[in-house]
């Protein structure tokens, strides 16, 4: 199967019909966790699928998302057909209004075919069609896809307002990650994991600016539900970010697990599971490697700058203040006011260059520091007249 070629959903339906159905949702979730999907880091796909090539992270995420949705439908509607499932998924995504993008609305209108559903899933995983956007979005938008599966389960159960349910799941998951990070005595060297989670938001209209402890008041609603193990895994994943577990972190994990109605043995199993996952797939989990993460992102941003060099030089020539600020950033750290001005002016530049719209997507701000550091190096001629050297800066 080639999940990037037209017709893959029909092929999936044929293959999946031969697969043994799950006894319950817990068994399905356990398998999705082993594949890395529940952790937002897909390291495998269902065994009944034989890919025609080595799959990318995006392709694995797409297959695992579809598999999770299909298996959830099969549990809830054991007598339903594959066509019933496709119809149901269309209605689900239309109801939760993912992305609120006109392109997606066009897909959801008219005849509902497997071909249209393939486009829908591409829009859910990739958000953009070009290769550079796929590279960026695979890093930041697939971390919370398990919420789609959990929300779809509740949708099939007849829950009212599924988008609100998804929004609450996101709110709790992200704040669990934030509090887990704050429980670390040895703080992470950067905020890459926090950036990944907050940039993965789909259903929350307002950005998360920091830990909101009101989420703890919502935990009782998830006691004993299928969301509880997922929240536990988010906490375990976050505290294990630096491959160690300190006393404060373990206290936080135990307290959270008990609030979610989980037995101590289940909490311990969740910690063992994430430990085992990291030990087996450490080499593939470059998202936690600072050097790899920024090296890969720098390559992406560098290509964007070079491909749009002429347009960028034109735009920069019209903003002497922006050029001066970018020059200053090469010799000293900018003040908060200067950073705010530079971001506002860069966003105006991005609006005029369509291929740089990636920086305006949710989470695009994660790449702005990389953009700011690279642009004087890659477009030096734009800064010749406004170059600020360290000596001159010290004299000011």
Spell out the per-residue pLDDT of the chain, length 396, in tens. Answer: 899 888 899 999 999 988 899 999 999 999 999 999 988 888 899 999 999 888 887 789 899 999 999 999 999 999 999 999 999 998 898 888 764 444 445 545 555 578 788 887 877 775 443 333 444 444 444 668 899 999 999 999 998 889 899 989 988 988 888 887 776 655 544 455 555 555 555 555 555 556 677 888 899 999 999 999 999 998 888 777 555 555 456 788 899 999 999 999 999 999 889 888 888 887 666 444 444 455 556 666 777 777 788 888 888 888 888 888 888 877 888 888 888 888 888 888 887 876 676 666 545 555 677 777 778 776 776 665 544 444 544 444
Q: What's the predicted TM-score (pTM) here? A: 0.69
Cα–Cα distance, 74 to 350 (Å, whole number): 45
Query: How far is residue 262 CA from its own chain's centroid?
Result: 26
Cα–Cα distance, 356 to 317 (Å, whole number): 18
Cα–Cα distance, 126 to 142 (Å, whole number): 9
CA dihedral 154, 104, 37, 191 (to 10 degrees): -110
The sign of the CA dihedral 219, 221, 223, 225 is negative
Cα–Cα distance, 278 to 288 (Å, whole number): 10
Backbone conformation region of residue 77, classed left if phi is above 0, alpha if psi is from -120 to 50, else beta: beta
Cα–Cα distance, 77 to 86 (Å, whole number): 13
Domain definitions of the chain by residue range: 8-156, 162-286, 289-395
Place of tokens 């539900």: 225
In Å, what is the CA distance from 287 to each residue of 62, 106, 294? 18, 34, 9
CA dihedral 117, 118, 122, 123 (to 10 degrees): -30
What pLDDT is stored for residue 231 in this prediction?
94
Cα–Cα distance, 322 to 316 (Å, whole number): 7
Angle between helices 131-140 and 192-199 (to 10 degrees): 110
What pLDDT is stored for residue 103 in this prediction?
44
What pLDDT is stored for residue 139 in this prediction?
41
Cα–Cα distance, 142 to 59 (Å, whole number): 11
**Residue-by-residue DSSP string for 82-104:** HHHHHHHHHHHHHHHTSTT-HHH
What pLDDT is stored for residue 31 in this prediction?
96
Length, in residues, of the chain:
396
The radius of gyration of the chain from alpha carbons, rounded to an integer in Å, stands at 23
**DSSP at 20:** P
> 301-308: long-range contacts at Cβ-Cβ below 8 A with a sequence spacing of 24 or more?
301/367, 301/370, 301/371, 301/374, 302/374, 302/378, 303/132, 304/132, 304/355, 304/356, 304/358, 304/371, 305/371, 305/374, 305/375, 305/378, 305/379, 306/378, 307/355, 308/353, 308/355, 308/356
Cα–Cα distance, 26 to 22 (Å, whole number): 9
What pLDDT is stored for residue 113 in this prediction?
72
Query: How far is residue 282 CA from its own chain's centroid?
Result: 19
- The encoded tokens of residue 366 equal 């994660």
């Amino acid at each position: 199967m080639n999940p990037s070629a037209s017709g893959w959903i029909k092929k999936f339906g044929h293959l999946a019909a031969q697969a043994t159905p799950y006894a319950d949702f817990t068994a399905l979730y356990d398998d999705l966790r082993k594949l890395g999907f529940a952790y937002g880091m897909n390291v495998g796909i269902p065994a009944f699928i034989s890919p025609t090539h080595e799959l990318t992270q995006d392709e694995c995420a797409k297959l695992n998302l579809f598999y999770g949705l299909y298996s959830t439908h099969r549990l809830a509607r054991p007598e339903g057909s594959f066509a019933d499932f496709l119809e149901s998924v269309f209605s689900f995504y239309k109801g939760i209004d993912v992305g609120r993008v006109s392109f997606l609305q066009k897909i959801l209108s008219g005849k509902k075919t497997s071909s249209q559903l393939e486009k829908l899933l591409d829009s859910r995983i990739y958000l953009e069609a070009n290769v550079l956007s796929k590279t960026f979005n695979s890093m930041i938008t697939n971390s919370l896809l398990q919420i789609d599966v959990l929300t779809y389960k509740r949708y099939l159960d007849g829950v009212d307002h599924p988008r609100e349910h998804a929004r609450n799941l996101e709110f709790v998951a992200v704040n669990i990650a934030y509090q887990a990070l704050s429980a670390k005595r040895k703080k992470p060297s950067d905020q890459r994991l926090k950036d990944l989670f907050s940039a993965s938001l789909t259903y929350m209209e307002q950005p998360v600016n920091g830990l909101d402890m009101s989420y703890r008041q919502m935990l009782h609603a998830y006691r004993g539900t299928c969301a509880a193990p997922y929240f536990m895994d988010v906490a375990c994943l976050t505290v294990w970010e630096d491959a160690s577990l300190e006393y404060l972190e373990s206290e936080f994990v135990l307290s959270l697990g008990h609030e979610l109605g989980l037995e101590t043995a289940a909490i311990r199993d969740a910690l063992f599971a994430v430990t085992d996952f990291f030990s087996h797939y450490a080499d593939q989990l470059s998202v936690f490697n600072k050097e790899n993460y920024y090296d890969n992102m720098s390559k992406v941003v560098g290509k964007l700058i070079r491909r749009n060099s002429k347009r960028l030089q034109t735009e920069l020539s019209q903003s002497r203040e922006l050029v001066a600020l970018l020059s200053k950033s090469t010799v000293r750290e900018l003040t908060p006011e200067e950073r705010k001005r530079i971001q506002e002016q860069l966003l105006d530049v991005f609006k005029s260059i369509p291929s740089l719209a990636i920086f305006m997507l949710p989470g695009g701000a994660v790449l702005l520091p990389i953009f700011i550091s690279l642009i004087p190096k890659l477009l030096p001629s734009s800064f010749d007249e406004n170059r600020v050297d360290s000596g001159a800066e010290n004299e000011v």
